[in-house]
Structure 1
Amino acid sequence: MAESHARYVSRLVPRNTKVFTAVVIAVAVVNSATLGYDSSLMNGLQILPSYTDYFHLNTATNGLNNAASWMGAILATPLLQFVPDNFGRKKAILLSAIVCFIGIILQSASQNIGMFIVARMIVGLGSQLSSAASPALLGELLPAVTRGRILGFFFSCFYVGSLASAIINYGSQNIQSTWSWRLPSLLQIIPSLLALCLLPFVPESPRWLISQGRHDQPLWQLCHFALSVPQLTRNNSFYLDKILTQAGITDTTTKTQINVILSCFSFVVACFGSYMLDIIGRRKQALGSVASMIVCLYIVGGMIKKFGESSNKSGIYGTIAFIFLFQGFYAFSITPLTSLYPTEISQYKLRTTGIAIFRL
């Protein structure tokens, strides 16, 4: 019996459920952390003169730089159902990490605007590849009692990547060379490396194995996890620089500080929002947050119009406060629901298809 258990469940898979859950989340988080890092990276780079001067950016090329990752994400959409359903959730995450790895190396070594845009498209394609596999793997491995909160927390780790990027950008702004933007670009590779290192410690989805006719293996996995379940009971914008400038904040150091603080604030709010999903309910929390975001957006627009070119510090600080409130309402609801809701409402046969359509 021990030989059969070893055959079907790798000895590398943690037997303690709390450790197992932490490893599964860490592997899956490559998707959200990479997206978060990328978002904050572009906000940070656009603040740095060394970046904008190197590529001779204007309004059009700056917009193209920001759009490139989403262009890659759209190109990846047809693969979001095909790869996880045909090759497995783990292999889809592995492929995602490898593609991101390639794109990040090219992005960091970019010599011209064309190379940078192509590299960002590859990064966008790679990070999107795991956006169906990662939540599906979590949803199919974790017990129902914790699934909602953990899936909500999963995409809340968007802000872990965002915070790391904001801090690195803040620290690199004084480097007197192109490494002031190449270093933050290169360090985006960390989530992908972590995923590659941790993936051997995670089993494949039992539901996927059953769908492939491999019935013995998931039976052993489910038995193993069932024995330890009682132990477990318990938006961002690429144009922050432009918005802050319009609001009257022009100092580079102040902008990078705001970027760091905003990431910290959003992460805390997103974690709290993940916890509240089972208390408030998915629909009420989403509708309340969207309504609040609309109100904040109109107020920000009005305050920028009124105080953006003035020296009224109270008006400028008020504008920044409502930018934070807008981001807070987004983080409280939309961030955790991004991975939870499409995964939760889709039956197994349509799960990755539903996630793919949602992502598109």
Structure 2
Amino acid sequence: MPGSGDWRLYFLCAVAIINSATNGYDGSMMNGLQSLQSWKAYFNPADPEQGPDPATRGLLNAIMSVGGTIGVFAGPPASDRLGRKLAIVLGSAIMLVGVALQGGAVNIGMFIAARFILGFGLSITSNAAPTLVVEIAHPTHRGKITALYNTMWYLGSIIAAWVTYGTFNAFQDNWSWRVPSIIQAAPSVIQLIFVWFYEESPRWLVGKGRDEEALRILADLHANGNKEDDLVQLEYREIKETIAREQEVAKRSYAELWATPGNRRRTFIAVTVGFFSQWSGNGLVSYYLTDVLNNVGITDQHSQLLINGFLQIWNLICAVTAALFVDRVGRRPLWLFSTAGMLIAFILQTICTGVYSEQLNHAAGYASVAMIFLFYAAYDSAWTPLTVSYIVEIMPFTIRAKGMAVQGLCVNLALFFNSYVNPVALTAIGWKYYLVYCCWLFVELFVVWKYYVETKGRTLEELAEIFDGDQAALVVAEARRLEALNLAAEEKANRDNLEVLDASEKV
């Protein structure tokens, strides 16, 4: 179990996890702003009831994904060259520039530019912060902390929803939307204050040849300063071995992702997880809840903001609960339950929305809102806690980093499509656009049933047998070869150390 440094360790992890809440804050805040009359009137005084046209609203939300996509290529170099701490500082500082422009925006162009900068900065911190969490967390608690990192998206969304509701009641002018925009700086400010109390990643330090410093930090955080502790020594050896493996893997190209049938299947799953996590109909509510509620007759600002606030609380409860049960239930049952549940809920929501639109049946409109809550109960049972961890499990070490990069790119591409196309389509064909997602969810369910395998409790050999078939022995042999290289490198290092000691004794 962790030593007496627990409180310090988990406080540092909690501060880093705040980064995950930043993205959730943005989605919920944009939902809230699009309900505010002051925001709509400020950015489209010619038509204050409608606000910016659908294409402009699509660009407002999509541009953050564009910044994030570019930032995907800037995040890893920043984290590897500057270290996790300074990368968090860099990303947070960039985000503060974006927040300042967003909160002080005087026209729609300035607001759009601000959101691009926010997306770019967030992508850098989103690479460094979770990496730091994983690399300083105690091994016995690392799994739950990693799962909770993803679920904290909803903590940010809850804060944004209720802040926007509060400013709606407190202000009747432009401060009702400027205040939530400015408060978006809070996570970055918190990280900039406390990052100086972080310990740097021991893994990054070993990679830079600062072994003694890395060992001290492991001892301070996991063994109350005892460098000879068995766990600390084990972690230290594992870090050195992993870095040796990565030096071998770094020589490999992206072509390995599709070089064999097994790897093509793994890559296919990574791509589908990336797209499905954003294309399941959740994108409609994540940024355009106002449009969805308008389609069922709920048009007043007060009701829309309240529904947004309670929906985010519901999401957090469902996501955290699912994260705590992932290891008990298994991955494949959760994938199937989640996707089938989303399909059923979305079909029911489509029916209810269609009945309201055609017959102005208010009971059907209220039922449609209930289906949104049911949909997210299903979505959060797998697509929130498993989106990252499942890909880590199915990818062999030799292509894991590249597979994760491909998945991240797919998420950003899907987000851009969602953000830009959804408002335009909702305006053009209304509730009938939901039929597209009903059909698409059938496709998702088939893909999950056909290709998503169970990984709970399975060894490297068992997973290789599933994905690689006759080539499984070669895949396992390659993994074992890398392990052998690590052992050889470690033995050589030990011999070199002994020779140095012998030489010093002779002197």
Give the TM-score, by structure 2 length.
0.63
The equivalent of 1:316 in structure 2 is 365
Distance, in Å, in 2 between the alignment partners of 1:111 and 1:250 is 27
What CA distance in whole angstroms lies between the structure 2 residues aligned with 1:89 and 1:353?
Answer: 20
The separation in 2 between residues aligned to 1:261 and 1:143, in whole angstroms, is: 34
Match of 2:328 among 255, 276, 279: 279
**Equivalent of 1:43 in 27, 31, 35:** 31
- 1:84 alignment counterpart: 79
Report the 3-state secondary structure (helix = DSSP H, G, I; strand = E; otherwise coil) of the residue aligned with 1:173: helix
Give the Cα separation in 2 of the matches to 1:281 and 1:245. 39
Deviation at 1:310, TM superposition (A): 4.1
1:186 aligns with 2:189: no
> Does the Cα contact within 8 Å between 2:68 and 2:122 map onto a contact in 1?
yes
Question: Which residue identity lines up with residue 158 of structure 1 in the other structure?
Answer: W
Which residue in the other structure is 1:8 paired with? none
Structure number with bigger Rg: 2
Residue type of the alignment partner of 2:69 = I
Letter in 1 for 2:309: V
Distance (whole Å) between structure 2 residues aligned to residue 308 and residue 26 of structure 1: 46
Q: CA deviation at 1:18?
A: 3.3
The 1:309/1:43 distance shift into structure 2, 3 A limit, reads farther
Residue 292 (structure 2) aligns with: 243
Distance 1:249 1:16, change over 3 A: same
- Which residue, out of 141, 148, 151, partners 1:146? 141
The CA distance in 2 between the partners of 1:92 and 1:46, in whole Å, is: 32
1:212 matched to which residue of 2? 208
CA distance in 1 between partners of 2:310 and 2:78 (Å):
37
Q: Which amino acid aligns with 2:190?
A: L
Aligned residue pair count: 342
The alpha-carbon deviation at position 250 of structure 1 amounts to 1.3
Evaluate the alpha carbon distance shift between residue 220 and residue 348 of structure 1 in structure 2; reply closer, same or farther with a 3 A threshold.
Answer: farther
Shift of 1:273: 1.2
- The answer (yes or no) to whether the contact 2:5–2:223 under 8 Å persists in 1 is no
C-alpha distance in 2 between matches for 1:278 and 1:42: 34
Compute the RMSD of aligned alpha carbons: 2.4
Q: 2:310 aligns with which of 261, 267, 273?
A: 261
Matched-pair contact (CA < 8 Å) for 2:345–2:371: yes
CA distance in 2, matches of 1:348, 1:224: 29
Q: Residues of 2 paired with 1:144 and 1:93: CA distance?
A: 23
Q: Whole-Å Cα distance in 2 between the matches of residues 197 and 343 of structure 1? A: 32
Structure 2 SS opposite 1:184 = helix
Structure 1 residue 328, shift from structure 2 partner:
2.2
Q: Secondary structure at the match of 1:140?
A: helix
Match of 1:21 in 2: 10
Corresponding residue for 1:4?
Answer: none
Mapped partners of 1:129, 1:249: distance in 2: 38
Distance in 2 separating the partners of 1:191 and 1:349: 35
Shift of residue 344, structure 1, vs aligned partner = 6.1
Query: Is the contact between residue 248 and residue 309 of structure 1 (CA under 8 Å) also seen in structure 2?
Result: no
Cα distance in 1 for partners of 2:300, 2:156 equals 24
Query: Is there any run of 5+ residues in structure 2 with no aligned partner, and where?
Result: 45-51, 231-281, 410-507
8 Å Cα contact 1:84-1:352 kept in structure 2: no
Q: 1:34 aligns with which of 22, 27, 43?
A: 22
Greater mean deviation of Cα atoms: 199-208 or 119-128: 199-208
- Using the TM superposition, give the Cα deviation of residue 213 of structure 1 relative to its aligned residue in structure 2, in angstroms: 1.6
Does the residue aligned with 2:367 lie in a helix, a strand or coil?
A: helix
Contact 1:81–1:132, Cα closer than 8 Å, also in 2:
yes
Asked whether the 8 Å contact 1:135–1:343 carries over to 2, the reply is no
Structure 1 pair 129–266 and aligned structure 2 pair: CA distance change class (3 A): same
Q: Equivalent residue for 2:193?
A: 197
Contact persistence 1:247–1:319 (CA under 8 A) = yes
Residues 202 and 355 of structure 1, relative CA distance in 2, 3 Å threshold = farther
Question: Could you say if the C-alpha distance between residues 328 and 356 of structure 1 is closer, same or farther in structure 2, counting changes exceeding 3 Å?
Answer: same
Change (3 A) 1:200 1:350: farther
Percent identity over the alignment?
A: 36
Deviations 1:164-200 (A, max 9, x none): 1111111112422111111110111111111111112
Quote the Cα distance in structure 1 between the aligned partners of 2:85 and 2:337. Answer: 36
Counterparts in 2 of 1:345 and 1:149: CA distance versus 1, 3 Å? farther
Q: CA deviation at 1:353?
A: 5.0
Name the CA distance, whole Å, in 1 between partners of 2:393 and 2:109: 40
Conserved in 2, the CA contact under 8 Å of 1:241 and 1:255? yes
Q: Report the alpha carbon displacement of residue 161 of structure 1 after superposing the two structures with TM.
A: 0.9
Matched residue, 2:350? 301
| 1:173 matched to 2:204 | no
CA distance in 2: counterparts of 1:22 and 1:338, whole angstroms: 25
